[in-house]
Amino acid sequence: MADKDERPLEGWTVGVTADRRFEVQSDLLARRGAEVLHGCTMHTLDLTNDDRLAGVSKALVAEPPDTLVLQTGMGTTMWLEAMDGIGVGGNLRAVLATVEVLARGPKAASTARRAGMTVAWQAPREVFADVVDHVATTGGRRRLAVQLDGSDEELLVGPLSTSCAEVLPIPVYRWGLPDDRDPARALVDAVCGG
């Protein structure tokens, strides 16, 4: 039997609500001794094959934005890989390497740098409100592109529109309820049941 120091979660039951990479989290917790219950509460809907994403990407190549706001590393990677798949990726990266890039957090910033972009600013608290404040307090922008992070589009575009002449949303993924909600219900029942 493993030493208690190696399995500090022995005797504990831990709920994992993640959609992406939940197996990694579950395996890590189980190796530490936890009994793991998985109940996905939110599902990531991949929009990388959506014509709208290709259209906005081609529009950015044809007429580059002044500023690009990247919200997530995963979304940035998905976007660039999808554009590689349709033959636009190289031109898109070349354009994005010339524009001001604002990152909501470290994952988006790191992904941008790996893709050849220079990050001009990163939100200190990793929240979108900081991005909105930064854009507004630094004079707004003529043309700004923002990678959507799964949230309602208007919640992201609206606040930026007050200080930007044009805001172009980049729809890479969005959130929705999982098809099978029974595991999430079972997880909630287990939590409520003690």
37-86 pLDDT, tens digit each: 999 999 888 888 989 999 999 999 999 999 999 999 999 999 999 999 99
Q: For the chain, where are the E strands, in sequence order?
A: 13-16, 35-38, 43-46, 67-70, 100-103, 119-122, 141-147, 164-170, 173-176
36-47 pLDDT, tens digit each: 999 999 988 888
pTM for this prediction: 0.83
Q: Residue 91 corresponds to which amino acid?
A: N
Out of 3.40.50.720, 3.40.50.10090, 1.10.357.10, 2.60.120.330, which CATH number does the structure's domain 45-175 have? 3.40.50.10090
Contact 70, 104 (CB under 8 A): yes
Nearest to 100 by CA among 155, 138, 52, 62: 138
